[in-house]
Homo-oligomer: A and B are copies of this chain.
Amino acid sequence: MKISARNVIKGTIKAIEIGPVNAEVIIEVAPSLEMTSIITKNSCEKLGLAKGKEVYAVVKASNVMIGTE
């Protein structure tokens, strides 16, 4: 499936912390650049996510804010 989300960023899972409903997944998308995702525990199992697996971080453009210093 191709998806309309404008941000589809390749990376590798560094860590997964699983709770009763949700799971937190840390993905390394570039050297010293990590992204954090919260998905359901069920999605985590359905996709067979595990440390070291190659995945994509997917973010809809309307969910990206911009900060300035």
Contacts and interface: CB of A to CB of B under 8 A. Distances in A.
Contacts of A35: 7, 9, 59, 64
Contact of A36 (B6, B24, B69): B6
Contact of A65 (B37, B54, B66): B37
Contact of A2 (B37, B64, B67): B67
How many chain A residues sit at the interface, stated as a range, is 35 or more
A20 B21 CA distance: 8
Interface in A41-69: 42-44, 46-49, 53-69
Interface of A: 1-9, 17-25, 27, 29-31, 33, 35-40, 42-44, 46-49, 53-69
